Amino acid sequence: MLYAFLIVNSVLILSIQAYFDDVLFDIQNQNRFNPYMFSLPTIFHVDRHTQYGYVRGTSYQVDSRDSFYPKYISVFLGIPYARPPVGLYRFKPPLPPDPWEPAFLLYDATYYRPSCLQPASEQEKIRQYIPHFPPSNFSEDCLFLNIFAPNRTDRYMPKLPVIVFIHGGDFIGGSSQIYNGFVLAQRNVVVVTFNYRLGPLGFLSTKTLNGRGNYGLFDQRMALKFVYDNIREFNGDPENITVIGHEAGAASIGLHLLSQNTPLYFRRAVMMSGSDLCKWSTIEDEHYPLEQARFLARRLTCNDRNVDVLLDCLRQRSGLDIMNSAKHVWFPDEFGGHPWRPTIDTFTDDVIRPIFSRRPIELRRLGLFANVSVILGTTSDDGAIHFAQQPINLAVIDKGFSLHDQHAYLNMFINRRVQDRYSFQRQTFAYEYAETDYVLPRGGDMYLDEEGIATVIKYKYAHWPQPDNMTMLRQRLVDLHSDEHTTSCVADAARFHARHTFNSTYMYVFAYHSLASYYPYWMGAPRSSELDYLFGMPFINDSQRMPWHGLLRRQIFTYVDEEMSNYTMQLFVNFARYGEPTPGGFLREYTPPSLERPSGLVHSPLGYALRLNVAWLPQLVQNMTYLLIDRYPSLQTNYRFDAAGFWSEYWPTAFQRRITPVPTKYYKHAVLNHRDTTILMLFFMSAFILAIIVLIILCGVLFVRVRHETNESVNKTNSNRRQTKFENKE
């Protein structure tokens, strides 16, 4: 009995020792903030080593059909990749994180850390995915990353490809928490997501070395370096990293490709719904980023004349006050609606190299961008959401647009663009006037041919096969917003990569619209539609024991949606693993049955897998192929390159037209400029005309006087003659 008692005690102690170790770890870290305490219980904890200490994550068992042994996915959340950018580190490039403190040698990576500060409107967009996302979960201390990795204990197995995702949000919003890489990691890849600084905290620039801007891009570079240095400990291959970006994230990737003399830290790139050639991707020097920073400083009662004093004052203000004041800085809608974007960085030092030092289009034309394999793409109705947010009666949108309604909308569209140009011209004149110490203004008035521009846009976006087709006229307006914002710059970037690189360039157009979509049918596939399928949203189910951390599905997904998600995930996983979405001309390792079956179906529809198995060929200059991702995928050519030429080539010149003659160029330190010469010419012409009028009046007066005196002389002469004649008669 004694031996049996000792054996039972030993078994019980060994079985509960790990549990009490975890409880002790939780007690030591009981002050941590975890807003999602209702998330599912973990299977077990797993520890990994980094350059800065050990991190503890959680591991979850998933369904495994490719192995006899159970399969686990390890999740590490909220790992700091840089020092907190607060206090004196605000408006500065990031620094490497400090090693974990000796009292906490094991860093708790079992819950998400705060997202970066952003406007309230952007916070509401996050709550569309995570309804219980608290306002307190936004902080300036936000430089954290999350790793989703298959848990493989065999050290001799080859390392897995790595996918690093950079979220979008127009450089002012977004969070890594709404992109859960748990389902995607089940495809035997390591998935990494991270936060980076947004808004003025991430992109305010004073065009000086002390305030060079692009802090959000430097954060991204630091995150990629952290992944490159440490991902091997998480079963990832540091030499096989693929970076995927959406919208602002895609533009950021394009700018990283332009970096010169700096490590790239990734091998392949995917740009979704954006590129560095988009008008909203950067703020040009002609848009005066310094003056935008000065306007923000004046809103916060800071001295705006001395740049160093301005930055020191802004560092003393709270981050929330800076974000609230930033929304009052006006900027044209055509260029994004706000100035907090990447800017040209001509400053450099021995430690931190600039991201890009010239305009992206100039570097592209010179071929000065990284020679890597890329995928570029967009959705078929990228501008549908933006179009639906316009001040239009929704009932009118649902039934379609008549020709008169479409022309009225286009007139409104052009009028807004023209008025924005006028407003920006006046603002630019004020900036130039301030630069000259309020002595001599520079620049000229702009006179735009609004009616002519409207005529061109009406011709471009008419539906000529059926000019009165109401649904097609509505679709043409959706195409208008898609082309202006995304399609044109994505097509231009694809053309540059296909022409100047020897690595493969692929392009896709995501056109799939779920029958259960919360978007109306006329909106098709709006912006970010492909992200739900890339991250496996159809497989998120409340009944599954998986770590969703408050992430909810916004619609009911069907079996076909699950298959489209499987298909989309495998395309991009193949590209990350092999450098080709369909290596060998077929979708390698694609299995038609879904990972999970919430719909209850066991067998896929007959022949459905064959319809999805389409070879995705790279683009060539003479054959710009792209994959149309829909329920029936197909390979097509030349996606809207005519629209790309219109918006990148013609549209800028349309706003350079003037009713009056175009003035000559002016020089910054010229004594006179074209506005001054115009005023002088007007003055001299007025003086000349006035002199002529005075001369005519004087000539008239003189003529009248001479004529009067002549008449008087003649009359006097005649009188004298009559008097003489009268005297002679007497």
Given CA atoms 469, 473, 476, 478 in this order, what sign does their dihedral have? negative
Model confidence at 623: pLDDT above 80? yes
Both tokens assigned to 135: 């306002």
- Residues near 413 by Cβ (< 8 Å), separated by ≥ 6? 457, 480
Q: Do 43-370 and 384-588+606-656 have matching folds?
A: yes
Crossing angle for the helix pair 307-316 and 289-299, nearest 10 degrees? 50
550 within 8 A of 130, measured Cβ to Cβ: yes
Both tokens assigned to 408: 């009225």
Residues 651-663, mean pLDDT to the nearest whole number = 61
Map out the domains of the chain as residue ranges.
Answer: 43-370, 384-588+606-656, 672-707
R_g (Cα) of the chain, nearest Å: 34
Given CA atoms 389, 390, 396, 400 in this order, what sign does their dihedral have? negative
CATH class of 43-370: alpha beta
DSSP-derived secondary structure letter, 76: E
Q: Please name which of 235, 249, 314, 305 lies closest in space to residue 278, comparing C-alpha atoms.
A: 249
Q: Of 550 and 379, which is predicted with more confidence?
A: 379
236 within 8 A of 266, measured Cβ to Cβ: no
DSSP-derived 3-state class of residue 472: helix
Question: Quick count: other Cβ atoms within 10 Å of Cβ 601?
Answer: 13
Give me the pLDDT at residue 260, please: 81
CA angle, corner 355, sides to 232 and 86, nearest 5? 75
280 within 8 A of 292, measured Cβ to Cβ: no
Distance CA 158, CA 326 (A): 48
Residues 89-97, mean pLDDT to the nearest whole number = 95
Distance CA 568, CA 259 (A): 30
Give me the pLDDT at residue 251, please: 97
DSSP-derived secondary structure letter, 409: H
Give me the pLDDT at residue 64, please: 67
Give me the pLDDT at residue 70, please: 72
DSSP-derived secondary structure letter, 110: B
Give me the pLDDT at residue 706, please: 81
- Which long-range CB contacts under 8 A does 29-38 form with residues at least 24 apart? 29/104, 29/108, 32/108, 32/111, 33/111, 33/114, 33/136, 33/137, 34/111, 35/112, 35/132, 35/133, 35/134, 35/136, 35/137, 35/550, 36/111, 36/112, 36/132, 36/549, 36/550, 38/550
Q: pLDDT digit string (tens) for 502-539?
A: 789 999 999 999 999 989 999 999 999 999 999 999 98
Length of the chain: 730
Distance CA 246, CA 370 (A): 19
Q: Please name which of 510, 417, 411 lies closest in space to residue 451, comparing C-alpha atoms.
A: 411
CA angle, corner 309, sides to 306 and 313, nearest 5? 135
Phi/psi region, residue 278 (left: phi>0; alpha: psi -120 to 50; beta: rest), is beta
Q: What is the pTM of this model?
A: 0.82
Give me the pLDDT at residue 542, please: 62
Q: Please name which of 592, 506, 611, 599 lies closest in space to residue 557, comparing C-alpha atoms.
A: 599
Q: pLDDT digit string (tens) for 378-413?
A: 999 999 999 988 887 766 788 889 999 999 999 999
User: Topology of domain 384-588+606-656, per CATH?
Assistant: Rossmann fold (3.40.50)
The DSSP result for 209-277, as a single string, is: STT---HHHHHHHHHHHHHHHHGGGGTEEEEEEEEEEETHHHHHHHHHHT--SS----SEEEEES--TT
DSSP-derived 3-state class of residue 433: helix
Mean pLDDT for the chain overall: 83
Give me the pLDDT at residue 539, please: 87
Residues 249-262, mean pLDDT to the nearest whole number = 92
Distance CA 5, CA 19 (A): 22
Q: For the chain, give the percent of residues with pLDDT over 90.
A: 52
Q: pLDDT digit string (tens) for 108-117?
A: 999 999 999 9
Give me the pLDDT at residue 525, please: 95
Q: Please name which of 271, 262, 218 lies closest in space to residue 243, comparing C-alpha atoms.
A: 271
Q: pLDDT digit string (tens) for 122-140?
A: 999 999 999 989 998 999 9
H-run or E-run covering 509: strand 505-510
- Residues near 439 by Cβ (< 8 Å), separated by ≥ 6? none
448 within 8 A of 417, measured Cβ to Cβ: no
Model confidence at 720: pLDDT above 60? yes
300 within 8 A of 313, measured Cβ to Cβ: yes
- Give the residues across from 247 on adjacent strands: none
DSSP-derived 3-state class of residue 149: strand
Give me the pLDDT at residue 352, please: 84
- Residues near 383 by Cβ (< 8 Å), separated by ≥ 6? 478, 479, 480, 481, 482, 483, 484, 485, 486, 526, 527
Distance CA 480, CA 483 (A): 5
In 86-207, the DSSP E strands lie at: 106-108, 115-116, 138-139, 144-150, 160-166, 190-194
Residues 608-625, mean pLDDT to the nearest whole number = 79
Give me the pLDDT at residue 225, please: 96
3-state percent breakdown (helix, strand, coil) of the chain, nearest 5: 45, 15, 45
Q: 28-37, 461-470, 631-640: which range is least confident on average?
A: 28-37
185 within 8 A of 148, measured Cβ to Cβ: yes
Task: Report in angstroms the alpha-carbon separations of 501 from 472, 494, 576.
Answer: 38, 11, 18
Give me the pLDDT at residue 426, please: 79
Distance CA 46, CA 56 (A): 6
DSSP-derived 3-state class of residue 620: strand
Q: pLDDT digit string (tens) for 151-206?
A: 876 666 789 999 999 999 999 999 999 999 999 999 999 999 999 999 999 999 99
Distance CA 504, CA 580 (A): 8
pLDDT band for position 459 (cuts 50, 70, 90): very high
